[in-house]
Chain A
Amino acid sequence: GQQVMQIPQYQHVQEGEDFTTYCNSSTTLSNIQWYKQRPGGHPVFLIQLVKSGEVKKQKRLTFQFGEAKKNSSLHITATQTTDVGTYFCAASNDYKLSFGAGTTVTVRA
């Protein structure tokens, strides 16, 4: 499957601050998906990006797909304790997902 690199692996954030997690591929992606996995839980679909340069927002979450469709980012503003978990990007190929390593987010109150 397509290899997707994701950084940082861990993100310790002060409540109220912003952070970004990045996803990169050496090949052009047809689309990229983002998932959130809470501790002890299963991945939950957040969004899919398909178009070059696409930007989508979900409340405090902003997702971007690069112009070359080789990278993507998730930016969270005003982090809350409910944002704790691991965020994965995943490249989809015929519905088969290749996951990035994930960014595990912890929040300091």
Chain B
Amino acid sequence: GNSVTQMEGPVTLSEEAFLTINCTYTATGYPSLFWYVQYPGEGLQLLLKATKADDKGSNKGFEATYRKETTSFHLEKGSVQVSDSAVYFCALIRNTDKLIFGTGTRLQVFP
């Protein structure tokens, strides 16, 4: 079946450090891939998405590239800020109405 695996957290970084949160997926065919973010005390928000192989989603300095050969959609940011502290969820959707989420990765950024 379809599934998403992402690295366990928490990820702890200093401000301006480089961020990578790994995400790999298992799915038949060509799913659409997403990163959602949950800031403290808030609901989930869509951060970025990619709908086909080699697409790069980007938003707020975050990027992720849809890699079909490695079935990955790793989230990256060149210089994190304290305000980026949140829980990040990788997700996919494949020919259904249902988003399949990973377990979430907590990011903590310290000044």
**Is chain B found bound to chain A in the same assembly?**
no
Q: Name B residues whose Cβ lies closer than 8 Å to a Cβ of A.
A: none
